[in-house]
Amino acid sequence: MNREQHIRAERFHQLHAAAEPLVLANAWDAGSARIVENAGAQAVATTSAGMAWALGYADGERLPVQELLAACRRICQVVTVPVSVDIERGFGREAKDTGGLVGALIQLGVVGINIEDGTLPGTRRLAPLDTLVERIVCARAVAEHHGLPLFINARIDAYLTEDVPAEARFEETQRRAMAYVDAGADGIFVPGLSDPQETARLAQQLPVPLNIYVGYPGAPTVAELHGLGVRRISLGCGPMQGVLAHLAHIAAEALAKGRYDTMGGSMLTVAEANGLFDAGARHSRGVRADQTSLPAKQGFEVRA
């Protein structure tokens, strides 16, 4: 780990404590990452769903880990702001496998991860709390070994599962949040949490920043969430869903009507697109292509 990466990691932590919430328009490849950075983003976070879709896979740890790492390497090579990566449930059968992945990401220049408890494979039942606790502990140990203050954002899926009754979701989220913080999490992400009173209550009780998902129509504004105490706001896979829908309109218009109005109404010039990747406008981080491979000693195994 170099000094610049350490500075980016510290900066990422600072952004969660700034006067305004950290807004993340999540990216899925190098192009989208540069678009987001060029728009003024102070950090780039990936969307696991968007990254999988872009590479021809369904969401849910179907993306081969080597392809995940290769995509992350390209993102880290073209942006200068802090980069955080969504690693879903950790991609491995055991905590040590997640540790191997985290180590590889750190070598690429990544300074933050998002990791979830999620559901048990093939079910809608929330995974045991201890599983994510062990993975957070391992990720933190790996980060400390590299001397990096990695920002670990722990996602809790209590509001997305069928086996947690509606009246028990807040308490279960609170219980898990405190366990994850004790294990070393720097932030808590609760997709599905939309009630303003519960959001404000959780934000007040947490000793770390609360992250809310807004990648759906009618989501509360940044100002509204800020008023509730939210410190991090994620668009998730919403941006890519919007881009795919826009592409569908462009294709349908050309194929069915022989017109290109939708495309022509809003598009970058070739010079603008090339400018996103101008070697003189970006900072190389010295990442080698061979660093996208996990060390064999980690015994990494992708969960089916």
- Angle at the Cα of 34 from the Cα atoms of 29 and 39, rounded to 5 degrees: 130
User: Mean pLDDT across the chain, nearest whole number?
Assistant: 92
Residue 278 belongs to a domain: no
Q: CATH number for the domain including 202?
A: 3.20.20.60
Cα-flanking dihedrals φ and ψ of residue 249, to 5°?
Answer: -65, -40
Residue 280 belongs to a domain: no
Tell me what the mean pLDDT of segment 194-220 comes to: 98
Q: 254 in helix, strand or coil?
A: helix
pLDDT band for position 289 (50/70/90)? very low
pLDDT band for position 287 (50/70/90)? very low
Does residue 286 register a pLDDT over 50?
A: no
Residue 189 belongs to a domain: yes
Give the pLDDT of residue 244: 98
CA distance 168 to 165: 5
Domain membership of residue 129 as a residue range: 3-239
Residue 303 belongs to a domain: no
pLDDT band for position 157 (50/70/90)? very high
Q: For residue range 85-141, what is the model confidence (pLDDT) as tens digits?
A: 999 999 999 999 999 999 999 999 999 999 999 988 878 899 999 999 999 999 999
Distance of CA 149 to the CA centre of its chain: 17
Residue 284 belongs to a domain: no
Q: Indicate the number of domains in the chain.
A: 1
Tell me what the mean pLDDT of segment 32-36 comes to: 98
Q: For residue range 4-26, what is the model confidence (pLDDT) as tens digits?
A: 999 999 999 999 999 999 999 99
Does residue 262 register a pLDDT over 90?
A: yes
Residue 261 belongs to a domain: no
- In the structure encoding, which two tokens stand for residue 133, read together? 């606790």
Q: For residue range 43-65, what is the model confidence (pLDDT) as tens digits?
A: 999 999 999 999 999 999 999 99
Give the pLDDT of residue 290: 42
Residue 136 belongs to a domain: yes
Which residues, 6+ apart, have CB-to-CB distance to 289 below 8 Å? 73
- In the structure encoding, which two tokens stand for residue 101, read together? 């992945």
Q: Where are the alpha helices (DSSP H) in the chain?
A: 3-15, 30-38, 48-54, 65-78, 95-108, 129-145, 169-183, 196-205, 222-227, 238-252, 261-265, 270-275
Residue 147 belongs to a domain: yes
